[in-house]
Amino acid sequence: MAGLVLDRTKSGVYRVFAGFFLAALAFASKNTTSNRALRQDAYGYAPFEVDCPNPRPAIRNSMSMSREETSWVEKRRNNTVWAIRNFVSRANISGFDTDNYMDKIAENSTTLPNIAIAMSGGGWRALMNGAGALAAYDNRTTNSTSPGQAGGLLQAATYLTGLSGGSWLVGSLYVPQLRSVEQLYRMDPNASDSLWQFDHSIIQGPVTLSTTEYYGTITDEIQNKENAGFNTTITDLWGRGLSFQLFNTKDGGPNYTFSSLGQNPDFQSGQVPLPIIVAIERTPNQLLILANSSVYEINPWEIGTFDSPTAAFASLQFVGSNFSGGVVPDNQSCVSGFDNMGFVVGTSSSLFNQAYLQVNKTNAPARVVEYVSGKLEQVGNQNSDVSDWVNPFYRFHPEVNTNANSRILSLVDGGEDLQNIPLHPLLQTARKVDVIFAVDSSADTAAPGANWPNGTSLVATYQRSLLESGRQVPFPAVPDQNTFINLGLNSRPTFFGCDASNLTQPAPLIVYIPNSPYTYHSNISTFQMETNDTERNSIIQNGYNVATMANGTIDKEWPACIGCAILTRSFWKTQTEMPTTCQNCFARYCWNGTTNSTAPTPYAPTPAVKASGSAKRRAIASAPVVGSFLCLFIMVWGIVNI
């Protein structure tokens, strides 16, 4: 199966969406003036030279975790003991003394549950649905620790991964300071630092800036990066636009870097989970993303991949430096500031196409048209719809590394190999993850019930785990997409890999949490670039309800079942008999191997919780109309050219 090319339909849809954004970017800039002076911020978005540390930055192989992560995980795991104890105690696993059990395992890192949460891609749909789940899992959210709730799971987790729209969520929570979902979407919309105001799309920019200031700032900052000697692509434009909505409405946080998170005291002391952003490598001159393409991860210390042939990591803080043969040579300075946070999450969501044809038809001033069109022409002429990183693996093991002769490391949207849930970093045996809560906001289904998940991401990860090429990772078996729909596995939580003794290799238990209409049809299109506050809140609330099974009203034992999922690998390792409550939970939620691969009827889910008439009316009335004609035109053009 090596070299299998995956279905590109989803990628094509993404490209249409991105084309709309970029064409509209220039269109909306028609009032921008061209005689404004360049901003002269100290460093700002452009990377800059610094003194190299001693020892100088060097590449390490991926056979283990980094020294920094190893040290940090020890702190974090100790800090999760109270949270796990508190959660399983509140979960009410009847007939089982959770406090006594926690006393036995608290000091043993091999039996203490190692928990991870993965947030899928899917544009703003994924950000908002995922936000609802994380709000449900966060004990800081109002009433999240009441009966029927799941608050505290976030505090018990060691890892939190994000991809594409999921990376926007993760980045927004961590940068520039650690915040909760409730803080972000319940901010005073009139406040100067108010984020997540999605009724003002990236095309419009924040209310705090004029169109002239917004677009002029973005293009100037990217030109500054070019003037500093670095390649730029459309991803730089996209990432800077995202930054105004996710990190800082005043200036987009041009100085915010992912590696600077390592300086935050709460993070340093292991008080929060480790955030990891996922992208895919596109090898030089390769247009298609293969099933065995290398999955890259970006964490606060490093960028790299566990996959062959590279199988190596580099310092994120100094990734803009001219590495050669695995080191920064003595005659070279080190470079910092390349890992701008907007660029990082933009890398994980690089969704672009040949929209420059539309830009050239707008009335935008020559300065903006020329610059943006130049970036878009790279897409058409050089297939540069990618994120260009300075390649730290230049001349590193050229005998096996297929990218060793390129100065550029090209990364693309993390879901382009259909692994839309960022599970890969969490499956690495060095991390010893026991259970992954996989929140899936994918748009897999077609009309009439479009934009709901159908398990495609899990199927892609399972198929990849079977490939002989590269480094295999353990992953439990999952059924095909038709079975997901026919058995309803995409409309309720499902556990995969429940019985560890049946696995050929130790693998985490996967708790699959698919987006589904509980109280709101949250399946907004990936093309939808803006939502009013009512719809935003409804989607977040629906995500909360999915994660809690409507506050336990659909299954009053759901919190206990989450507790059982957390403890199941620990039970197996300690040879503890599974409590009756957990046996009952697993009988309800574990996939038992049954399949039904017949073509399902057209998918059209109904709300799990009856919605009021006013809620239904809001769902219809909230569809954005701004720029609808332009959106329709470019969508049609893009579909024809997929």
| Residue 4, domain member (yes or no) | no
| Residue 407, domain member (yes or no) | yes
In this prediction, residues 286-295 reach a mean pLDDT of: 72
The SS3 assignment for 508 reads: coil
Please, which pLDDT band fits residue 288 given cuts at 50, 70 and 90? low
| Residue 2, domain member (yes or no) | no
pLDDT tens-digit series, residues 324-334: 999 999 999 99
Residues in contact with 408: Cβ distance below 8 Å, sequence separation at least 6, in sequence order = 231, 284, 388, 389, 390, 391
Most confident of 64-73, 276-285, 409-418, 499-508: 64-73
Is the pLDDT reported for residue 551 higher than 50? yes
In this prediction, residues 433-444 reach a mean pLDDT of: 97
| Residue 358, domain member (yes or no) | yes
- How far is it, in rounded angstroms, from Cα 157 to Cα 100? 21
Please, which pLDDT band fits residue 636 given cuts at 50, 70 and 90? very low
**SS3 sequence of 273-328:** CEEEEEEEECCCCCCCCECCCCEEEECCCEEEECCCCCCEEEECCCCCCCCECCEC
| 368 vs 422, more confident | 422
| 380 vs 619, more confident | 380
DSSP state at residue 541: H
| Residue 588, domain member (yes or no) | yes
pLDDT tens-digit series, residues 457-514: 999 999 999 886 545 789 999 999 999 999 999 999 999 999 988 887 789 999 999 9
Total domains present in the chain: 1
Q: Are strands 274-281 and 159-163 parallel, antiparallel or unpaired?
A: parallel
| Residue 348, domain member (yes or no) | yes
Quote the domain boundaries for residue 224: 9-640
pLDDT > 90: percent of the chain: 66
pLDDT > 70: percent of the chain: 80
The CATH code of the domain that includes 102 is 3.40.1090.10
- How far is it, in rounded angstroms, from Cα 187 to Cα 505? 46
| Residue 3, domain member (yes or no) | no
DSSP state at residue 236: H
- How far is it, in rounded angstroms, from Cα 453 to Cα 513? 10
Please, which pLDDT band fits residue 205 given cuts at 50, 70 and 90? confident
The SS3 assignment for 408 reads: strand
In this prediction, residue 372 carries a pLDDT of 58
Is the pLDDT reported for residue 49 higher than 60? yes
Is the pLDDT reported for residue 39 higher than 70? no
**Average per-residue pLDDT for the chain:** 84
| Residue 1, domain member (yes or no) | no
In this prediction, residue 41 carries a pLDDT of 40
